[in-house]
Amino acid sequence: MPPSLPTFCGAPLSGAELELIQACVARFRHLSRTELAATVCEWLGWERPNGRLKTRECRDLLQALEALELLELPALRAGRPRGAATTLPRSAHGEAKAPVSAPLRSLQPIGLIRVEQPAEHALWRELMGRHHYLGHRTAYGASLRYLIAASAGRERILGAVQFSSPAWRMRARDAWIGWNEATRKRNLPRLINNSRFLILPWVRVPHLASHVLALALRRVLADWEACYGLRPWLSETLVDPQRFSGVCYRAANWIDVGLTTGRGRQDRHHSRHNAAPKRIFLYPLRAHAQQALASAP
């Protein structure tokens, strides 16, 4: 029996798409794997709403197809070893600071710095790598990152936050929306995932986390649309109930819709069912988001 084909961004890969991918790989063996992925995206029209190619996701697909012996990719070129983790900086900026324990109003104005410059990327990676329990990991698909800053005499970094592409399927989320398979495929790009949220461990400010969540959701609406060409309608996040109760999300009026199955994004063979279920929180970003996501255009 031939192996079942992997999915691409949650959609089943067709036989015709597989044949085209195989033809592309066979024809352009001089290209790197990233260049091959970009070429496949161009041939199949795999683009984000802003017209940028889904190259990273396609490269993951090519590697999955190679693992199934459905094609043979060109040898990896010299560079970082496959599977190697991103090197995390270690600097004085990431060291523990004097405790910050003050009323929220005394730290105002609190703002978000969009991570764009190399120094900002390095600081974001370091803070996540050293102080978030999940560590640093490159986001799957689209993403935007921010540093949380307080200006009270001098700028101080209080934490960091990230929004990225949503999970392809989550039973409780999909049931809350009430969409069918066709509308899920069409409207999934309208969702964003608050995939990292860090208040630094030495920062103990009541109500700060829920305040930052509100700021971040207002800010990301315009930034996501400017960067990816589509305005989000719903934000999701996953909370590990073994570690956290989701108090800040509840305080910020996010909706608890239940638990995941615990599989994770890459568990395509259902081998980790109930391994690590997470609590799902949702926040509508437009009026009647539930109905809009479940409806046809």
> How confident is residue 271, by pLDDT bands cut at 50, 70 and 90?
very low
Angle at 6 between CA 164 and CA 167, to 5 degrees: 25
What tens digit of pLDDT does each residue of 85-127 get?
556 777 777 777 888 999 999 999 999 999 999 999 999 999 9
What is the pLDDT at residue 93? 75
Instruction: Label residue 153 by pLDDT band (50, 70, 90).
Output: very low
Secondary structure letter of residue 78 according to DSSP? S
* Predicted model pTM: 0.76
Map residue 32 onto helix, strand or coil. coil
Exposed, middle or buried: residue 25 (CB in 10 Å: 0-12, 13-18, 19+)? buried
How far the first Cα of the chain sits from its last, in Å, is 39
Residue 142 predicted with pLDDT over 60: yes
The H or E element containing residue 275 is none
Mean of all residue pLDDT scores within the chain: 86
Taking phi over 0 as left and psi of -120 to 50 as alpha, with beta for the rest, 45 belongs to: left
Provide the 3-class DSSP secondary structure of residue 123.
Answer: helix
Nearest to residue 6, comparing CAs of 75, 83, 60, 76?
Answer: 60
Phi-psi region of 258 (alpha: psi -120 to 50; beta: other; left: phi over 0): left
Range 247-259 average pLDDT: 96
